[in-house]
Structure 1
Amino acid sequence: MNEPKLKRDPEGTRRRILDAATQQFTTQGLAGARVDAIATAAGTNERMLYYYFQSKEGLYVAVLEAMYVEFANHEVSLDLSGLQPADAIRALALSIWDYLRANPRWLSLINNENLHEGQYLARSPKLREAISPVISLLSATLARGAAAGEFRADVDALDFYVTLVAMGYYVVSNRFTLKAFVGRDYSAPSAIEAVSAMQVEMLLSFLRPASAATSLYPASAGAAAREDGARMN
């Protein structure tokens, strides 16, 4: 009796290679990652790796693409349309910062690629396509806020997005060095809650129109500050 043939699963093989490569590139970097170790971990051979990805560098780019697309899809899946503009910004920010904390491998890959000055990411034609829906989602939220008079109308959505991500990225990616340097554990739940609340308020303060921001500080306070300045001159 003949042995049954195993069913070919090209997509499954490709996914296993990507998963194994993600682990290797996260821990070893591009230079230290070994093709044979990736193939073994994926339960396949080096020939299949080269068949799907052409080279180790091609596999590395594919891993970066997959991680960025997954990150973008997570944000686009948020339903912000039913939230008030300020609540929508808060939800988006907290979601992104939570994602960064939950995916340390992604941070390791980003840090590694920055050591390469982004040269491998620059080879990918898919990354700009991945970020566009996220920026569109944020742009629509900012436009709703501006139409309601809650937000300024001159906010650049891409700059705001980069700033929002950077706030969460720094605290997460530098959590170990921050703990050693300043003595505070920014991965502790109480620190996460306090810093996130502060960062959200900073973002919303920037978005408020000038008239709304001025109303938060009484005119008398501004006048007193001007008088103090005049006395100092």
Structure 2
Amino acid sequence: MKRDPIKSKQRIIEAATEHFALYGMAGTRVDEIAKSAGINNAMIYHYYKNKKSLYHEVLKQQMKNMHESINLDQSLDEKEIIKQAISGYFDFCYHHPFYVSLMMWEMVEDWKNLNELSEKIQHEINELLVEKVTQGIEKGYFYQDIDPRMFVSGAILQVFCSFSLFKHLNLLNKGPGISPDSKDIERYKNKLTIQILRSIMVKDDNEGNHHGATD
């Protein structure tokens, strides 16, 4: 029976994503990926030059899936679109734990693989958020000394790094063996969103107006 290359590559990527998420690129073996995918090693090397090429493909697909999952309403004001982006990114991380693990591995490895792929990965959402933060600064909504690009990058790190807290139960004081449930996750998402927004908001929106930062 003729092999379906699309399905074969899909099985390879699914197996590789799991193994790279669990063991990192250095700790993953191609033969174990092949075993999990139900194919032979030669087939992996037929589609991908080496383990690094396969790892890069996994990263590209994960980043593509993440960007496609976050639909931002550009008609929203600066605060609301940032809030929507934080919420969307949090939800993606929650439903895609392998993505979180892969980003953790990348952070440990000084982001060297994502840096190599920077020209091949979409950055439209990041650039839109940088633009919105810049506009918020110009309108006096956000602190004047905020670096828009640093804020967006820092917010991304805060979101996916927060997921390590859910596995470290003592940090959240849930008690021995008690994992957060869906209501806890939603509550943490809302609190994290508020914390990130408060780091740049000059004045709480609930008071009805904004003021520029003062020295």
TM-score, normalisation: structure 1: 0.71
Gaps of 5+ in 1: 217-233
Aligned to 1:230: none
Of the candidates 83, 90, 94, which is equivalent to residue 97 of structure 1? 90
Matches of 1:129 and 1:204, distance apart in 2: 30
Report how far residue 94 of structure 1 moved: 0.9
Q: Which moved more, 1:85-94 or 1:112-121?
A: 112-121
Q: Are the equivalent residues in 2 in contact too, given 1:14–1:52 (CA < 8 A)? A: yes
Aligned to 2:23: 28
Aligned to 2:157: 166
Matches of 1:143 and 1:180, distance apart in 2: 38
Aligned to 2:74: 81
Gaps of 5+ in 2: 208-215
Q: 1:203 to 1:24 in 2, by over 3 A?
A: closer
Q: 1:101 to 1:49 in 2, by over 3 A?
A: same
Equivalent residue letter for 2:153: V
Q: 1:40 to 1:82 in 2, by over 3 A?
A: same
Q: 1:60 to 1:157 in 2, by over 3 A?
A: same
Kindly name which structure, 1 or 2, has the bigger radius of gyration based on alpha carbons.
1
- Paired positions, count: 203
Report how far residue 96 of structure 1 moved: 0.9
TM-score, normalisation: structure 2: 0.76
Identity of counterpart residues, as a percentage? Answer: 24
Q: 1:42 to 1:193 in 2, by over 3 A?
A: closer
Higher helix share: 1
Matches of 1:28 and 1:146, distance apart in 2: 42
Q: Are the equivalent residues in 1 in contact too, given 2:30–2:41 (CA < 8 A)? A: yes
Moved over 6 A (4+): none
Aligned Cα root-mean-square deviation (Å): 3.0
Q: Are the equivalent residues in 1 in contact too, given 2:133–2:148 (CA < 8 A)? A: yes
